[in-house]
A = this chain, B = another copy of it.
C-alpha cells in the first residue's frame, strides 16, 4: 500500500541515536539511584559512572521556541542530550555535577522550575480541553495551570508521605491514566445531548448512533419526516459516546458542563495492587480562568492527605486504612447519592459486612 516517491512506514528513529554516551556505556548496568536534592536524580552505574538528571516542569503544550531553548540548554550543559518523562516533564542528562546549579538557574529564568521527584506532586498528566478537542466539558491546560500554581510547593519539595499523581481529563473518554490517579480531575457533562435533527440524516448513521449508547437511551425516531433519533433523558448519563459517533448530537453545554474529582487510584504494584480512583466530588462549576472551586477542593484533599497519611502510603492506601467514612469526614466533603455506584457492577461496591466504625 505504500505510495511511491514518498518514504512510508519507516517508524520512529532508533532510540540509540538519541542516547547520551554515558547511557550507552552503562545501558542496563545501573547500580542504584539517589535524589540528592529535589528535581535532581543521581544514577550511579556499576562502572561508577554518575548520571545526573535534572527534571524541569513543563506545561506540555510547548512552543517550538521553548523546545529550541531546551535544545540550547542541552547543548550547553549536557552535550545535547535530554529526554521527556512519561508525565511530560523534561529531563536534562548531565554528567558534570557542577553544571546542575547553573542549569537550574537558567531554567528558573526561563520559567521552568525543577522538581516532581520522590515524594512529591509531579506534573499533571492531561489532555486537550478547549485548545483542541471537540468533546471537552472544560479546558484542560487552564485547570492544570491553576491547580499547579497552588500546589507548586509540593512540586519543588518532597515532603509528602508518598508520590502523589494528579491527572486531568476533559471528558469521560479519559485520555490518560486518569482513572487510576491519586487525584483525578475530570470534566463532566451533566445533561443529555441536544439533537440537531436537521443534521442527523446528513452526518450520521442512525443504527450506529442507537448502538453507541451504553444505557440504551437512544431510539430511532422520525422528526419532520426525516430519520432521526430521540433520547430518553432519564436513561442518559451524559457519557458523550453518541456525540463521538455523531456530531449532530451535541453534548457540550456551557451552563451545565463542569468538573468532578476522584481520588485514591494508583498504577504501581508497590505494596497495594493497582486501583481505580473513586468519586470524591461529583460536580464543581466551570469557573475560568482560575477554577477556584476546583483548585481549593484539590488542595484540601492534598493537605488532609499530607497531614494524615503514614510514610509510603499513597492516597488510596491511606483511605483504605482509615475507611471512606473517615475520608469524607476529614475532608469535609459531603457524601451524596452520586457517590453510590449505580452502573453495571454497582452491587460490588456495597458494604457487605458489619465491619464498621461507629
Contact = CB atoms under 8 A, between A and B. Distances in A.
Interface of A: 269, 273-274, 344-345, 348, 352-355
Contacts of A344: 344
A155 to B, nearest CB: 28
A344 B347 CA distance: 11
Contacts of A274: 352-353
Q: Interface on chain A toward B: helix, strand, loop, or mixed SS? A: loop
Given A269-B355, A344-B344, A345-B345, 9 more contacts: A269-B353, A269-B354, A273-B352, A273-B353, A273-B355, A274-B352, A274-B353, A345-B348, A348-B348
A22 B120 CA distance: 65
A324 to B, nearest CB: 14
A80 to B, nearest CB: 36
A146 B323 CA distance: 45
10 contacts: A269-B354, A269-B355, A273-B352, A273-B353, A273-B355, A274-B352, A274-B353, A344-B344, A345-B345, A348-B348
A353 B345 CA distance: 19
A286 to B, nearest CB: 33
Contacts of A348: 345, 348
A355 B267 CA distance: 12
A79 to B, nearest CB: 36
